[in-house]
Amino acid sequence: MFRANHGTGKRTLALLLVSGMLAGLAAGCSQSSQQSSSTPSSSSQSSSTEPASGTPEPENEFAKYEPQEGKTYTIEWLGSHSNAPMPDDAEMKLYWEEKFNVKFNMWYIERSKWNELLNVRIAANEFPDIVKTDGPDTLRGYYDQDMVIELPKELLNHLAPKIYKNVEDVSRDEGIDAWTVTAIEGKNYGIPDFNENGRYVYTSIWRADWLKKVGIETVPKTLDEFEVAFQKFVNEDPDGNGKKDTYALSSGRVSEPFASIYGAFGYIPWYWSRTEDGGIAYGAVQPEMKDALALLNRWYTEGLLNPEFITGENRGGHWSISHDFIEGIIGYTNNGPFYVNAPPPAGGEKGGKMYAAFQAAHENDGAEIVVGQAPIGPDGKCGSIRWGVVTGGNLCFSKKLEEEPDKLGKILQIVETLNCDYDNYMKAFYGIEGKHYKLENGEKTSLIPDGTSSEEFGFGNPFIAFGGIFKFGQRWRPAYYEYAEQYATYSKNYSDALLVSLPSKSKYWDELDKMQKEVYIQIITGAKPVEYFDTFVENWMKDGGEILTAEANDWIQSTLS
For the chain, the straight-line distance linking the first and the last C-alpha, in angstroms and rounded, comes to 93
Q: Which is nearer to other proteins, 189 or 481 (CB)?
A: 481
Kindly give the residue spans of alpha helices, DSSP state H, lying in 112-238: 114-123, 136-144, 153-159, 161-174, 208-213, 223-235
Rounded to 10 degrees, the C-alpha dihedral 289/293/296/300 comes to 170
Q: How far is the CB of 504 from other proteins (least distance, A)?
A: 30
Instruction: Identify the three-state secondary structure at position 198.
Output: helix
Q: Which is nearer to other proteins, 121 or 507 (CB)?
A: 121
Least Cα distance to 516 among 270, 286, 272, 274 occurs for: 270
Find the binder of other proteins among 19, 72, 87, 490 (CB under 8 A): 87
36 binds other proteins (CB under 8 A): no
Q: Which is nearer to other proteins, 13 or 550 (CB)?
A: 13
Q: How far is the CB of 388 from other proteins (least distance, A)?
A: 16
**CA dist., res. 145 & res. 130, Å (int):** 16
Task: Return the H-helix or E-strand segment holding 497.
Answer: none
459 binds other proteins (CB under 8 A): yes
Q: How far is the CB of 339 from other proteins (least distance, A)?
A: 6
- Would you give the binding string for other proteins spanning residues 197-216, x where CB under 8 A is met? x-------------------
339 binds other proteins (CB under 8 A): yes
348 binds other proteins (CB under 8 A): yes
Cβ partners under 8 Å of residue 473, min gap 6: 196, 480, 481
Q: How far is the CB of 14 from other proteins (least distance, A)?
A: 5
Task: Return the H-helix or E-strand segment holding 191.
Answer: strand 191-194
Cβ partners under 8 Å of residue 102, min gap 6: 72, 73, 74, 75, 96, 410, 414
Task: Return the H-helix or E-strand segment holding 518.
Answer: helix 505-525
**CA dist., res. 149 & res. 404, Å (int):** 11
Q: Which is nearer to other proteins, 161 or 317 (CB)?
A: 317
Least Cα distance to 358 among 377, 371, 376, 374 occurs for: 371
Stretch in the footprint of other proteins (CB under 8 A) among 57-65, 210-218, 265-273, 311-319: 311-319
Find the binder of other proteins among 244, 350, 475, 507 (CB under 8 A): 350
Q: Which is nearer to other proteins, 8 or 49 (CB)?
A: 8
Stretch in the footprint of other proteins (CB under 8 A) among 84-92, 170-178, 300-308, 394-402: 84-92
Cβ partners under 8 Å of residue 187, min gap 6: 150, 152
74 binds other proteins (CB under 8 A): no
Instruction: Identify the three-state secondary structure at position 546.
Output: helix
Q: Which is nearer to other proteins, 52 or 124 (CB)?
A: 124
Stretch in the footprint of other proteins (CB under 8 A) among 44-52, 288-296, 319-327, 501-509: 319-327
Find the binder of other proteins among 85, 141, 345, 544 (CB under 8 A): 85
Our measurement of the distance from residue 466's CA atom to the centroid of its chain's CA atoms, rounded to an integer in Å, reads 14
Q: How far is the CB of 89 from other proteins (least distance, A)?
A: 12
83 binds other proteins (CB under 8 A): yes
Interface of this chain with other proteins, residues 355 to 384, rule: CB under 8 A: 356-357, 360-361
Q: Which is nearer to other proteins, 106 or 552 (CB)?
A: 106
Stretch in the footprint of other proteins (CB under 8 A) among 115-123, 140-148, 288-296, 510-518: 115-123
Beta strands 73-78 and 130-133: pairing type? parallel
Secondary structure of 35-58 in HEC code, one letter for each residue:
HHHHHHHHHHHHHHHHHHHCCCCH
Q: Which is nearer to other proteins, 9 or 378 (CB)?
A: 9
29 binds other proteins (CB under 8 A): no
For residue 17, which amino acid is it?
L
Least Cα distance to 131 among 114, 113, 153, 112 occurs for: 114
429 binds other proteins (CB under 8 A): yes
Using CB under 8 A as the criterion, which residues of the chain lie in contact with other proteins when the complex forms? 2, 5-7, 9-14, 16-18, 21, 27-28, 31, 34-35, 83-85, 87, 108, 110-113, 117, 120-121, 123-124, 197, 315-318, 321, 323, 326-327, 339, 348-350, 353, 356-357, 360-361, 429-430, 444-446, 449-454, 456, 459-461
